[in-house]
Structure 1
Amino acid sequence: MDTDPARTDTAHLRARWNATVTAAGAAADRDPAPYADRLLAAWAEPQRRYHTTAHLADVLARIDVLSEHAPEHDAPDRLAVELAAWFHDAVYRPDRSENEERSAALAERALPELGIDAARTAEVARLVRLTVTHDPAPGDTAGEVLCDADLAVLAGAPDAYAAYAAAVRAEYGFVPDDAFRAGRAAVLRQLLDLPRLFRTPYGAAHWEATARANLAAELAELTQTGPPGM
């Protein structure tokens, strides 16, 4: 996955935003363009190395894939999922723990201004908050799609996964190596301990095994020790 925001097609993202908010019920007299400007500016902030417009574009693309394979009788609110993707890391500071809550609150302010109804706004905010744990309840198909799309980076090819891991490290450049390695190893162990990383049938079938192999390899690299005397 390309994590360089400079190579992300923001014109395509703007067009997609306009189409999504229009379909989601935005008022005809509200211009969605300024909201796209503010969101894309947030996703391109200088402290970001992984949580960039490239990540946003990737999550939206994964939602497309998962939606194509969702059972028609059990399809989630696709528009709410897409809007949640736009907002899920709209507020991001690597040294803060309230990013998802602040991102959800941003959606709760912005979407009503655009004329999006209260029920869909609440669903978008709920989905954004769900990305704290990536643990949707059974039957929460919208949550499953968003969480799987967000975690799909874990199932990248070796070079793509290495670029992802390096970008995460760069975002935490202010953390000393020993502390980062310990913290990152704890996160990886927590992920590997989950009974399932991916909840959608497509994600489980196509991403689970590769993601676990990538996580295990990164964990082994982080925790390896040199020979005596080193």
Structure 2
Amino acid sequence: MRTYFFIFLINLTVYVPQTHAISATDFKQSMIEHRNRVDHEMLIAYRQFKSDFTNLDESLITEYAKTYHDLPKIMTLQNLESWGYPFNEDIATRLALFWGRKKQDLNENDRAFFEQTVIELNRIESAIKEDLFFMRLKKFYANSAAIKEELQNLEHWIDVFDTATFRRDEINIPNSQLNDAATYLNRENAPELAIKIVKYMTKVKSKFNKPFKALNRIDRIAICRQALF
């Protein structure tokens, strides 16, 4: 899902942050789990609020989420370069350096490095979705514009929910109003449906028996599936 940062574009000089938070391999594994959860969470939200997504079906949701959500974060450097990616390290390697760090705490050079990476991430993800998914929809669905709007809305709201709960637990960020999904969506003036969805999904998440961060990765995926289905 698209990450939003607004900055001045600056000269792309070579700079490497000094703090390595996690390995690129661990970062990619976390993103794979996040992508799997987003797929399951989009489906459960769709089933609960089906009347609000009249242009979607489960096959479209799964194809879109499993294939394209946050895809550049797990792509190889060679594949990224085929989409005009300009850096010498893949996106996972660059973003792994900032695991668990707050953007406002970064120094000027680190922030520039991070934001340049996010710009490329958003550009490539948007291009891939448009060229490989939405262009195909236009050929087969008269309501492709409505499908696109509903998919992107649901994806964004669930992405906010997942980041504010499961991934926050994973990197040991404590619960707070600042990180609450509903609070975040309220700040960006999201519609009432978005708030209803994240509040419902929060109730689903509360059914887990153990603190999510205490589980190993395999158990996390298993317990997600058990709770959501």
Higher RCO (CA 8 Å, separation ≥ 6 residues)? 2
**TM norm structure 1:** 0.41
